[in-house]
Amino acid sequence: MTVTIVDAARPVTGGVDTHLDLNVAAALDTVGGLLAVAEFPTTSAGHRELLGWLSGFGPVARVGVEGTGSYGAGLARFLRAAGVQVVEVDRPNRQARRRAGKSDPLDAVEAARAAMSGRACGAAKSRDGNVEAIRALVVAKRSARSAKIQALNQIRHLGFTAPEPLRQRLAGVSRHHLAARAAALRPGSREGADPVIGATKTALRILRPAGAGPG
């Protein structure tokens, strides 16, 4: 009797150290042995190459990805869409990395081992759907508010140090009306013939937050 032994493909675990322009990936076999390490660009084509490279060693069981809420967001979305389980891996302690010497390949291997051992078991951040849409809008709102506060503070400071005629016009103006008052200034007026007054008026109009008075 002849016995045929079929060597079924063994699953592999991946790990990725993510960066802005480059991802470093590692592939481990079922017992944690290192199969290979490779680099891929952080583009759609690079994501396809990375998954194809991992799949070349066998079916991909899971992939540990660093920074799925930042640099790894695009790769995590791509892998999930391809049906691959993505595990969120914490970035190594920065002080420890500096002491040991920064090594992207070692970080990728560590990400794969964390995913394989279960030390990293959190689901990757989705960065899609309604929650992500709201997050993007909140980021813009917070940034706009911060920029408005900074601009109003600069307007207030320029008003304090402006030549006396202009300083008097801005004195006592509430924060609520300060931007509109700055927008109404006319650098080309006779008063603006003074170079300091003219330049200060121009600066105040430039600094006014968007939507505050005439442009």
For the segment 175-192, what is each residue's pLDDT rounded down to a tens digit? 778 778 888 887 766 655
Give the pLDDT band (50/70/90) at residue 25. Answer: very high
User: DSSP 3-state assignment of 195?
Assistant: helix
Domains of the chain (ranges, CATH numbers): 12-127 (3.30.420.140), 130-207 (no CATH)
Place of tokens 């995590």: 76
Residue 169 contacts residue 188 (beta carbons within 8 Å): no
Identity at 105, one-letter amino acid code = P
Buried b (16+ CB within 10 A) or exposed e, 110-131: bbbbbbbeeebeeebbebeeee
In the structure encoding, which two tokens stand for residue 134, read together? Answer: 């709201």
pLDDT value at 79 more than 90: yes
pLDDT value at 9 more than 50: yes
The more confidently predicted of residues 197 and 44 is 44
Q: What is the pLDDT of the chain when averaged over all its residues?
A: 81
The more confidently predicted of residues 92 and 62 is 62
